[in-house]
A = this chain, B = another copy of it.
């Protein structure tokens, strides 16, 4: 396969799922062995998917025997849940922190830019967050679904505020909310840090697109 491929076509084998987020972000996971397992699991789940990832693979990425995993996590699913929960919380925090401007237009711009940049910068964990939901236990899925609703509500609220004060024109509020989220989320599927624009540049571009979507 040629090196020079459009990203759209180059999404199977050989996808670059590189190093992972900033290591600092996982300092709260103690001890270090548990953290190595967690970051190894993020990479493995993002590359191969939850079902195709073996506990042996995760353990070997952490330079441990398969059995050592169970000292730190009771199951493979629990590892997925902790990753998914942390990732969803991080995405919600990013969005909340960006919601500070005075006008709906400025708020939407900042929120879409931040949400998009997060999906690009942390595309590894974002892939797990967005595409491995079905592997969670029903109870664990319920828990992250609550966070997903909160994320959706934040965007819907900004759009509604823009409609209220007359700056946005949105015929279908839930549909437009979904479209705005959709564009950012899909970044996790195709983003390749070796070829694509920086997360910040992409965020700025997508923020513009979102504003055009609501005819601001």
| Contacts from A to B (Cβ < 8 Å) | 1, 5-13, 15, 47-49, 51-52, 130-131, 133-136, 138, 141-142, 144-146, 148-149, 151-153, 156, 172, 174-175, 177-179, 181-183, 185-187, 189-190, 197, 205-206, 209, 212-213, 215
Contacts and interface: CB of A to CB of B under 8 A. Distances in A.
Contact of A134 (B13, B149, B186): B13
Given A9-B152, A51-B51, 15 more contacts: A1-B142, A6-B149, A6-B153, A8-B152, A8-B178, A9-B145, A11-B133, A11-B134, A49-B134, A51-B52, A131-B131, A172-B197, A179-B183, A179-B209, A212-B212
Which among A8, A131, A138, A145 has the greatest number of chain B C-beta atoms within 10 A?
A8
Given A6-B149, A8-B151, A13-B138, A182 B174 contact: no
Contacts of A182: 183, 186-187, 189-190
Contacts of A152: 6, 8-9
A145 B182 CA distance: 23
A6 B138 contact: no
Given A5-B145, A178-B7, A12 B136 contact: yes
